[in-house]
Chain A
Amino acid sequence: MRITQGCFSFLPDLTDEQISAQLDYCLGRDWALGIEYTYDPHPRNTYWEMWGPPMFDLRDAKGVMIELAACRAAHPEAYIRINAFESARGFETVMMSFIVNRPAAEPRIDMTRTEVDGRSLRYTHTVAA
């Protein structure tokens, strides 16, 4: 099942040129870029593993692409995303985040409905093995 989170996740996967173009956009706005990966695509899993520290002083997307290539080589079957962090006061937050690598076969995520307190519903999600 296709995981949809962050930007562009309803579009076909970005090519490397498209990723580079997005990274150039981020760098043009002085956002710091970080690469993160995870093997747990559960929607509540917000803490992904960092691939090296965020890159604060790059000028060109190629620097990120080198790291991305290294991360893909080490974790070809992981979800990898790129976060763009805006450090300006008032924001100090992630401005953009998009998935750049997916496993060949994405796991299914099952939803379970539980009725509580009469007709109220609770939802839980589990990643099928």
Chain B
Amino acid sequence: MNDAPPAGTIDLRAEYERSGIREMLDELDRELVGLVPVKRRVRETAALLLVDRARHALGLVNETPTLHMSFTGNPGTGKTTVARKMAGLLHRLGYVRKGHLVSVTRDDLVGQYIGHTAPRTKEVLKRAMGGVLFIDEAYYLHRPDNERDYGQEAIEILLQVMENNRDDLVVILAGYADRMERFFQSNPGFRSRIAHHIAFPDYTEEELNRIAVLALQKLGYRLSPAAEDVMERYIALRRNQPHFANARSVRNALDRARLRQADRLFTRSAGPVNAAALSTIEAEDLAASRVFEGGLGIGPASPAVSRHSEELSP
């Protein structure tokens, strides 16, 4: 390189290009619909870490910055996906050595018997070393109604490792915003060890539509013009029904539509079908959804039986 910066300075732009963060951020922009505030926060975090690294290189700081994060938001808003990208980002910046993501919930950390929790938690932590540990629905670790719950033991081990092994792994806690807030209130140790709080907003209807189209594109399907209208109405209705899980609900709806499309082609087509017919979701495939009949589960006219079978039901 003939344009190396003079000694004692660092070319941030070159660092930015060389570390491959830009590709990472572009990928994030491309692959994830919406989530503007999240992307902004990720970008800011990346910039901060890049500057921190430059400061470190010039000997201005020696401490490893605290990188533990909390992701709050409703289900299906892309927390796991962003966590995976974050792991890649931290790896490229050199803050974690391997850059893999270990995704766990309470069940993976907390044992069933006394003396069972510590080995389990340590096992998971060992697996996550050099990468990112993603704890989904972290507030389940703390059961305020049961003071002898083994979750407390897992919390203590976690806190200790978050403090002592800051060079070795990054912990991301995820869950609903309000419950995370209560979790942090009852476990102040976590709050003080977490540097970055990122809130994931719900998707707008327009974004959900884009997600649906993109998801189908990836699978090699497309919506017929009539089906597009139905999809829009579906999303508008589904959003206001219980157990709505944003992008996940949309994906599940599409899976069921594909099921119905296959069934329709199979039972009703007379003679050979062409590629276009095989890859087109028609309006009727979507319109058969129970969402259009006034809802799933909780609702004035619906039976209580279907309350929990929402994502499976036809």
Contact = CB atoms under 8 A, between A and B. Distances in A.
Contacts of A60: 97-98, 129-131, 168
Contacts of A61: 129-130
A33 B127 CA distance: 12
A65 to B, nearest CB: 9
A66 B97 CA distance: 16
Interface centre among A61, A63, A64, A67 (most CB of B within 10 A): A63
A55 interface: yes
A49 interface: no
Interface in A43-69: 55, 57-64, 66-67
B127 A62 contact: no
Nearest to B119: A52
Interface of B: 97-98, 100, 122, 125-127, 129-131, 165, 168-169
B131 A59 contact: yes
A89 B78 CA distance: 39
A55 B122 CA distance: 12
A55 B130 CA distance: 15
Question: What are the 3 A-B residue pairs with the smallest beta carbon separation, nearest first?
Answer: A60-B130, A63-B126, A62-B129
- How many chain A residues sit at the interface, stated as a range, is 10 to 19
Contacts of A58: 126-127, 129
A57 B126 CA distance: 9
Given A63-B126, A66-B126, 12 more contacts: A55-B126, A57-B127, A58-B127, A58-B129, A59-B98, A59-B131, A60-B130, A62-B97, A63-B125, A63-B127, A63-B129, A63-B130
Contact of A59 (B122, B125, B127, B165): B127
Interface of A is mostly: helix
B121 to A, nearest CB: 12
Nearest to B161: A66
Contacts of B127: 57-59, 63
Nearest to B168: A62
A27 B97 CA distance: 13
Interface centre among A60, A63, A66 (most CB of B within 10 A): A60
Contacts of A62: 97, 126, 129-130, 165, 168-169
A59 B130 CA distance: 7
Contacts of B100: 59
A61 B129 CA distance: 8
A19 B143 CA distance: 41
Contacts of B165: 62
A16 B70 CA distance: 33
A11 to B, nearest CB: 25
Nearest to A60: B130
Interface in A71-107: none
A67 B127 CA distance: 12
A63 B98 CA distance: 12
Interface centre among B100, B130, B131 (most CB of A within 10 A): B130
Contacts of B130: 59-63
B159 to A, nearest CB: 16
Contacts of A64: 126
A58 B168 CA distance: 13
A55 B127 CA distance: 9
Interface centre among B125, B126, B127, B130 (most CB of A within 10 A): B126
Contacts of B126: 55, 58, 62-64, 66-67
Contacts of A63: 125-127, 129-130
Contacts of B97: 60, 62
A51 B19 CA distance: 39
5 contacts: A59-B98, A59-B100, A62-B129, A62-B165, A63-B126
